[in-house]
């Protein structure tokens, strides 16, 4: 007689989140690494801001725009790394066979990866954002509720890229893991992190129009320069993110099934 096994179990997702928290707790270098790059980036762009304030009238209108840009960019970057590098941990430890011989479903693993990514992003970027207050007298939290909208949209875009990268690494092996560190930079120039999308040539603007991040950073500048929350930009970012996240999940689950065909859950390697 078969036991009743729920197709979606918060308890199993919690078990996996706990597994990743144990891992963080066991490794201080991992925790430090979470906050290191966002903090360094924030310090660098804080000095650049201080220097440029005396020469740029554009920057003088909203002195925190570069700092806000770098902190929000790191939300997307940390969000992506929080999914892909945590998934790689399962591959490094050759644990996928045990996991998927248990009642854990692939989509429950996805939920756990997204949850731990949120936690890691809050730790990493949250620390840098708080440090910017005493260092540069700039608080990103002064944006108010729009900050939440920007945060969620960038995090979700990071998740989508993270799932795509994880799927590719599951398919092609750990030799492809560097994708986790470079993939997101492909969209950085067209996301308008530090400059308006209008500076891009027309053909690149077409690509920018397809990215939720470009609407978020345009929306961020609207809040900072015009003190307006552009719902049109927000809606487009949300719409695109729904599509991208759906695509990211579909690719990951599709690769997972292919991995079962190819025996990759047991023979994880380079």
Binding residues vs another protein (CB under 8 A): 1-3, 5, 7, 9, 11-12, 14-16, 18-19, 22-23, 26-27, 89-90, 93-105, 257, 260-263, 265-267
Considering the complex, what minimum distance in angstroms separates the CB of residue 256 from another protein? 11
Residue of 63, 93, 89 lying closest to 225 (CA atoms): 63
Residue recorded with tokens 């693993």: 109
Considering the complex, what minimum distance in angstroms separates the CB of residue 165 from another protein? 21
Report the residue number, 104 or 135, with the smaller CB distance to another protein: 104
Report the residue number, 61 or 267, with the smaller CB distance to another protein: 267
User: Quick one: 222 exposed, middle or buried, by C-beta within 10 A (0-12, 13-18, 19+)?
Assistant: middle
Report the residue number, 62 or 99, with the smaller CB distance to another protein: 99
Cβ neighbors of 68 (< 8 A, separation 6 or more) are 138, 140, 143, 220, 224
Report the residue number, 50 or 102, with the smaller CB distance to another protein: 102
Q: How far apart are alpha carbons 88 and 173 in whole angstroms?
A: 10
Q: For residue 1, what are the CA distances in angstroms to 4, 8, 102, 258?
A: 10, 21, 18, 30
Considering the complex, what minimum distance in angstroms separates the CB of residue 100 from another protein? 6
Report the residue number, 12 or 78, with the smaller CB distance to another protein: 12
Please answer whether residues 103 and 12 qualify as being in contact, where contact means their C-beta atoms are separated by less than 8 angstroms: yes
Report the residue number, 144 or 269, with the smaller CB distance to another protein: 269
Q: Helix count (H) and strand count (E) of the chain?
A: 11, 0
Considering the complex, what minimum distance in angstroms separates the CB of residue 190 from another protein? 38
Considering the complex, what minimum distance in angstroms separates the CB of residue 101 from another protein? 5
User: In terms of residues, how long is the chain?
Assistant: 270
Geometric angle at alpha carbon 243, from 107 and 116, rounded to 5°? 40
Considering the complex, what minimum distance in angstroms separates the CB of residue 86 from another protein? 11
Sign, CA torsion 83/88/90/96: positive
Please answer whether residues 248 and 89 qualify as being in contact, where contact means their C-beta atoms are separated by less than 8 angstroms: no
Considering the complex, what minimum distance in angstroms separates the CB of residue 90 from another protein? 8
Report the residue number, 96 or 161, with the smaller CB distance to another protein: 96
Please answer whether residues 88 and 42 qualify as being in contact, where contact means their C-beta atoms are separated by less than 8 angstroms: no
């Amino acid at each position: 007689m078969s036991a009743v096994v729920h197709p979606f179990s918060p308890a199993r997702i919690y078990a996996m989140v706990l597994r990743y928290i144990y891992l963080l707790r066991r490794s201080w270098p991992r925790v430090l690494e979470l906050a290191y790059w966002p903090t360094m980036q924030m310090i660098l762009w804080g000095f650049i801001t201080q220097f440029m304030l005396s020469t740029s009238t554009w920057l003088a209108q909203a002195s925190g725009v570069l700092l806000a840009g770098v902190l929000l960019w790191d939300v997307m970057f940390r969000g992506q790394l929080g999914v892909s590098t945590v998934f790689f941990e399962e591959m490094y430890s050759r644990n996928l066979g045990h996991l998927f011989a248990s009642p854990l479903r692939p989509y429950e693993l996805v939920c756990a990866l997204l949850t731990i990514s949120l936690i890691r992003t809050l730790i990493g970027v949250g620390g840098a954002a708080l440090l910017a207050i005493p260092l540069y007298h700039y608080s990103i939290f002064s944006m108010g509720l729009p900050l939440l909208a920007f945060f969620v949209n960038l995090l979700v875009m990071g998740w989508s890229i993270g799932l795509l990268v994880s799927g590719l690494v599951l398919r092609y092996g750990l030799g492809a893991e560097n994708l986790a560190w470079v993939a997101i930079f492909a969209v950085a120039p067209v996301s308008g992190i530090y400059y308006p999308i209008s500076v891009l040539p027309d053909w690149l603007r077409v690509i920018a129009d397809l990215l939720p991040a470009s609407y978020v950073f345009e929306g961020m500048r609207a809040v900072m320069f015009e003190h307006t929350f552009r719902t049109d930009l927000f809606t487009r970012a949300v719409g695109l993110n729904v599509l991208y996240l759906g695509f990211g999940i579909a690719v990951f689950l599709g690769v997972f099934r292919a991995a079962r065909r190819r025996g990759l859950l047991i023979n994880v390697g380079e």
